[in-house]
């Protein structure tokens, strides 16, 4: 299992070792020891989610108030998605920057997004199945979003799927109504880098 920190500090790409034989494939998609060594603290698993998305479905950019925020460890069990981490921490040197990882059922990578990082993904084929390990449970009053097509963020979303067919972004009504990054900042919705660092430091203590 290899960890690579992304251009958004606090987000990692995780590549597992796969063991195949005529029966199929076995892999460890999460392992507590290597995770804690790479990130600096264990994952406090409080909720596990799954979503199934048609090609073109675009979910995000989602985040939660910090503290406690919601860290996510995400993989794609079936199909393929482009998974994106966005730095929305006010005061961060990389504020507004994004990086991405292709999650699919071939390389079977995962991505970890620590507290205070925005999360979004686009499904690249029908029935793409995404699994999330979350550090906190869902709390509607603390959950927020930024429009995933905000030109200020400028995510380079795919225009064709894994089969080469054109993709048309499909967003929920909630994500369509989400503010831009600038609007979210003006409304005081975004976490500050100082608050995130203080909370993450408490997890390492």
- Spell out the domain ranges in the chain: 2-204
Strand partners of residue 44? none
Backbone angles phi, psi at 29, to 5 degrees: -90, -10
* pLDDT for the residue numbered 16: 98
- What is the end-to-end Cα distance of the chain in Å, rounded? 25
* pLDDT for the residue numbered 104: 98
Which candidate in 62, 119, 144, 147 is catalytic?
62
Residues in the chain with pLDDT < 50?
A: none
For the chain, strand residue ranges (E) read 2-5, 11-15, 18-21, 24-27, 47-53, 58-64, 72-78, 80-87, 98-104, 110-113, 117-123, 128-134, 143-145
pTM, entire model: 0.96
Q: Which residues of 91-102 are buried (b: 16+ CB within 10 A; e: fewer)?
A: ebebbbbbbbbb
Domain 2-204 has CATH 2.60.120.10: yes
Which candidate in 41, 73, 112, 132 is catalytic?
132
* pLDDT for the residue numbered 205: 86
> Distance (Å, rounded) from C-alpha 90 to C-alpha 157?
24
Q: Is the separation of the CB atoms in 32 and 42 below 8 Å?
A: yes
Is 138 marked active-site?
Answer: no
Is 132 marked active-site?
Answer: yes
Q: Is the separation of the CB atoms in 79 and 131 below 8 Å?
A: no
């Amino acid at each position: 299992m290899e960890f690579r920190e992304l251009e958004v500090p606090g987000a990692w790409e995780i590549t597992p070792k796969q063991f195949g034989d005529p029966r199929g494939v076995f892999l460890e998609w999460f392992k507590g020891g290597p995770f804690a060594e790479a990130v600096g603290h264990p994952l406090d698993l409080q909720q596990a989610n799954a979503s199934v998305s048609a090609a073109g479905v675009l979910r995000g950019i989602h985040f939660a108030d910090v503290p406690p925020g919601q860290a996510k460890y995400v993989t794609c069990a079936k199909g393929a998605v482009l998974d994106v981490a966005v730095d929305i921490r006010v005061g961060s040197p990389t504020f507004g920057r994004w990086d991405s990882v292709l999650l699919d059922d071939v390389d079977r990578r995962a991505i970890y997004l620590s507290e205070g990082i925005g999360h979004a993904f686009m499904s690249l084929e029908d029935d793409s199945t995404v699994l999330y390990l979350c550090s906190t449970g869902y709390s509607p009053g603390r959950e927020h979003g930024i429009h995933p097509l905000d030109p200020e963020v400028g995510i380079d979303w795919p225009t064709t799927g894994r089969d080469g067919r054109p993709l048309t972004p499909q967003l929920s009504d909630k994500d369509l109504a989400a503010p831009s990054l600038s609007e979210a900042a003006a409304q005081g919705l975004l976490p500050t880098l100082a608050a995130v660092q203080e909370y993450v430091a408490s997890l390492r203590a």
